[in-house]
Amino acid sequence: MKQMKPPKKPLIFYYGIILVIILLLNSFIFPAIFNHSVKEVDYGTFLTMVEDGKVKQVEIENNTIMFKPKDTSEAKLYKTGSIDDPKLVDRLHEANVKFAKVIPKETSPLLNFILSWILPLLIFIAIGQWLMKKMQNKMMGGGGALSFGKSNAKVYVEAQTGITFKDVAGQDEAKEALQEIVDFLHNPKKYKEIGASIPKGALLVGPPGTGKTLLAKAVAGESKVPFFSMSGSEFVEMFVGMGAARVRDLFKQAQEKAPCIVFIDEIDAIGKSRNSGMPGGNDEREQTLNQLLTEMDGFDADKGVVILAATNRPETLDKALLRPGRFDRRVPVELPDLAGRESILHVHAGKVKLADDVDFNMIARATSGASGADLANIINEAALRAVRLGRNKVMQNDLEESVEVVIAGYQRKNAVISMKDKLTISYHEIGHALVAAKQSHSAPVHKITIIPRTSGALGYTMQVDEHETILMTKEQALDKITTYMGGRAAEEVIFKTITSGASNDIEQATKIARSMVTRFGMSDEFDMMALETVNNPYLGGDTSLMVSAETAAKVDAEILKIIKTCHQKAIRILEDNKDKLHELTKYLLEKETISGEEFMAILAGKQESSVILEK
């Protein structure tokens, strides 16, 4: 739902304008209209006219005398100020003029006030309100932030999601956990008979793009029940109390439609811990959360309302949400493993025409750490590329290229890079690859390229593991750091100078070294002491150090020691293989992209690189 913009000027401003308009009307315009046809004359003229017999009728008011002439050519009505003239009556009588004194009307001042001030004001306010409402409806597309508690006009039902567990590849554990809920919604009697009560709520936790929302829809699709879906942020409204009203409505509707599923996506938007240290807190969010807690306690799970929620920040959720009877069941939806990635690729490739050379296993191996959403994106990018190249089938190299697009962005074909920089980049990348190849615990080199990418990468070396490993040994970790050092080391060995091109390598290497010391217990100094905690494991996983200042300094020293050792090792490897470094670099510079096989062939001396470098 779109947020309503606050009106540019406060309402009171418009009412002020209206008031001024009424004032002007009352004091100038109306009298002017009335007086238009009245001609004012002096008393003398009046008397002369009476004596000349030109006057037909006279009305004497308190301060004025109005009179009608016999000859109406000049004006229909005259007026003059009334003067204390005792002879006036006689004169009029003599001239045979009809005359009368007007009896002053006893209008009550209150009525007068109401008629001339309150009534017009009320009319204008009514018009104003009507306009406001119209405007709002336009902006909000119905409903509206100002329609307090009237959100029940919105029906949250999305009757059939049409998605089943078949559409969710991998995630077998999650599916198994949710299968029970599906079963319950199909056959609640079975559970009631034995006296078991089904959990009221299940919380899907995991990194973004792993299929949490998809799974929730699949549960609804499998159970063939209505699916009430809302995002946590939709509850957080402009006005305190609105969110709570929405929660109430949602649950009211859900109970009417039971059995059904209520799905609250991104629940951390309202479920954040209430003592998160914000001064003053957030009233609206807390009220909404309290209402949610109350509603979850209030309804009878046997009726068949199951609440699913999803978040990638479970650690921020309020403890009250997680206690038994509420979201007591936690379903982890983790990043897919190798087999999971392969089957996700298969699911999404279902509607894509594939060439025979497509090898999803290879793509899955090259995408360790990718989420389901990433993989879906890779398939789509590959299909787009195939179309762009005028093919009607997706080939393996479309897929490989789109993996790189997702990892590093598009190729920057037009980027202008000087020959000197290109040479440096080539040595840098071959440095990585050579160090990786000369160590026994690093993954094989799959591809080396010096074609720059939109992510800012000037080139990269892709390593693809044969098998996926879940555990990382200390040797593997050290080899990884050493490989990261390889790029810079090559620059040092060849050019005796260094460039800024290693910044990302430095960052990654330091991250691994830090984890080794603070979390994996891989340093001699600290043994198995925990020094750091991970704050949000599913979102970037930033950590906070929980040690004294002195220890922190020692931690840094320890990290530095690891990095220095690895750096020296990388330099040594490259010094020992300087010939190969030159040879491979020349080859890469010529080809711009070389495969792992080519690389290994040259390294093993099986292939002569015939390219001669021109400087």
Nearer to ligand ADP, 174 or 435 (CB): 174
Between 379 and 571, whose beta carbon lies closer to ligand ADP?
A: 379
Q: How far is the CB of 310 from Mg ion (least distance, A)?
A: 6
Residue 208 structure tokens: 């973004």
Q: How many helices (H) and strands (E) does the chain have?
A: 24, 15
When the beta carbons of 116 and 231 are compared against ligand ADP, the nearer one is: 231
Give the whole-angstrom CA distance, residue 96 versus residue 446: 124
Residue numbers at the binding site for Zn ion (CB under 5 A): 487, 505
Q: Which is nearer to ligand ADP, 403 or 563 (CB)?
A: 403
Segment interacting with ligand ADP (CB under 6 A) among 3-11, 207-215, 275-283, 523-531:
207-215
Query: Which parts of 290-319 interact with ligand ADP (CB under 6 A)?
Result: 310
What residue 505 binds from Zn ion, Mg ion, ligand ADP, none (CB within 5 to 8 A, per partner kind)?
Zn ion
175 makes contact with ligand ADP (CB under 6 A): no
Active site residues: 429
Query: Does residue 210 belong to the site contacting ligand ADP (CB under 6 A)?
Result: yes
Q: Is 168 in the site for ligand ADP (CB under 6 A)?
A: yes
Match 């999971």 to its residue by tokens.
340
**Nearer to ligand ADP among residue 499 and residue 536 (C-beta):** 536
The answer to whether residue 372 forms part of the interface with ligand ADP (CB under 6 A) is yes
How far, in Å, CA of 344 to CA of 336, rounded?
Answer: 9
DSSP state of 276: S
Q: Determine the Cα–Cα distance for residues 228 and 157; give it in Å rounded to an integer.
A: 5
| Residues near Mg ion (CB under 5 A) | 213
Out of ligand ADP, Mg ion, Zn ion, none, what residue 487 binds, judged by CB under 5 to 8 A for its kind, is Zn ion
Per residue in 84-119, is it b (16+ CB within 10 Å) or e — as a string? eeeebeeebeebebebeeeeeeeeeeeeeeeeeeee
Closest distance of CB 495 from Zn ion, Å: 15
Determine if 95 is a binding residue for ligand ADP (CB under 6 A).
no
Query: DSSP labels for 541-609?
Result: T-EEE-S-HHHHHHHHHHHHHHHHHHHHHHHHHHHHTHHHHHHHHHHHHHHSEEEHHHHHHHHTTSS--
- Pick out the residues of the known binding site for ATP: 206-213
Among 344, 395, 517, 573, binds ligand ADP (CB under 6 A): 344
CA–CA dist 422, 451 (Å, integer): 9
577 binds, among Zn ion, ligand ADP, Mg ion, none (CB under 5 to 8 A by kind): none
Q: Which partner, ligand ADP, Mg ion, Zn ion, none, binds residue 264 by CB below 5 to 8 Å per kind?
A: none
Number of residues that bind ligand ADP (CB under 6 A): 17
Residues comprising the binding site for Zn(2+)?
428, 432, 505
Rounded CA separation 71/78 (Å): 11
Q: What is the DSSP letter of 200?
A: S
**Distance from C-alpha of 218 to C-alpha of 569, rounded to nearest angstrom:** 51
**CA-based torsion, 311, 312, 313, 319: positive or negative:** positive
Q: Does 211 bind ligand ADP (CB under 6 A)?
A: yes
Whose CA is closest to 405, among 457, 346, 444? 457
Residues within the interface to ligand ADP (CB under 6 A): 168-171, 208-214, 310, 344, 347, 372-373, 376
